Structure 1
Amino acid sequence: MRVLSCATTSVPYATVEVTNPNKREVRYAAYVHFLDSSGDELTVGRAEVDVPARDSAQTRVPVPAGAVNVDLDYCEAEPDAERAE
């Protein structure tokens, strides 16, 4: 999974791309850590996305309510999305 764009005060979500290596479609949970300029975690966002077999899909991971502020500096995605349950 990789971050395509991070959240800002005017765009309260990160856009990520999730890749599915499996032979069938899978629903994944994507987690993004929203960090300040010191690298301290402000919050974690989560979104689910259906990814076709052996393909990629993009999804928006919202910043949890109240967490978008001037301290938000960058985003980091969990390296691997996990199967949503």
Structure 2
Amino acid sequence: MHTRGRRLRFTAVLALTVLTLTGFSTGRHHSHSRHGSSGGGCSSSSQDHDTSTSSGGTTHGSANGSTHRSRPTYRSTPTATSSATARPLKDGTAVLKRCASLDDPYSTVEVRNPNGREALFTVKIAYKNSNGSTLADTTSQVSVPANGRATLRMAAAGTGILDRLDHCEVAPRATADR
């Protein structure tokens, strides 16, 4: 009977040790995790949940295919939109759809974005007289969705030019803000 009591105590201590080492605790329930995932069981935020041993740089894969480094290496997870890997933006195209007039002092321009992400483009319009001389220039910016297009209405550079305005010329390249 004395041996059975010792064996029972040993089993209880062993079970608590295993639970403690695997991140389970008795009585206290915390939902904090150092690695940002909600793994099995309750854990304390001060515990390290690496699946590797503390004796070197070995790595072990988990069931979901991710890899954890052994202690003490801690680093942030890289993202796909990291500025270090982002490609520079390509310029877009601008097409004049309608020139300003006395009836409507706004020019309409369609801007296309060839990039795989949203971008801000600068558009320039020159307002010309019948001789081809520039009366005024106007620039404006428009945000265009990834691989999309946007319509921009630009006010003429001043009401004094509208009575001498013959035509508008838009710069065909919409400059992407870098």
Same fold (TM over 0.5): yes
Matched, 1:11 2:104: yes
Unmatched 5+ residue regions in structure 2?
1-93
TM-score, normalised to structure 2, is 0.45
Q: Is the 8 A contact 1:35 1:41 kept in 2?
A: yes
TM-score when normalising by structure 1: 0.90
Q: Deviations over 1:3-58 (max 9, x none)?
A: 00000012112100001000000011111111011111100111111100111110
Identity of aligned residues (%): 33
SS of aligned partner of 1:68: helix
Question: In structure 2, what is the Cα distance between the partners aligned to 1:68 and 1:9?
Answer: 9
Give the superposition deviation at 1:67.
3.9
What aligned pairs does 1:2-81 form with structure 2 within 5 A after superposition? 2-81=95-174
Q: Which residue of 1 aligns with 2:11?
A: none
5+ residue gaps, structure 1, are: none
Of the two, which has the highest radius of gyration? 2
1:14 is matched by which residue type in structure 2?
S
More strand by share: 1
**CA contact under 8 A between 1:32 and 1:75: conserved in structure 2?**
yes
Q: Deviations over 1:58-79 (max 9, x none)?
A: 0011112344332101111101
**Equivalent in 79, 82, 85 of residue 175 of structure 2:** 82
Higher relative contact order (CA 8 A, sep 6+): 1
Counterpart of 2:124, as a letter, is Y
CA root-mean-square deviation: 1.4
CA distance in 1, matches of 2:122, 2:172: 12
Matched AA of 2:146: A
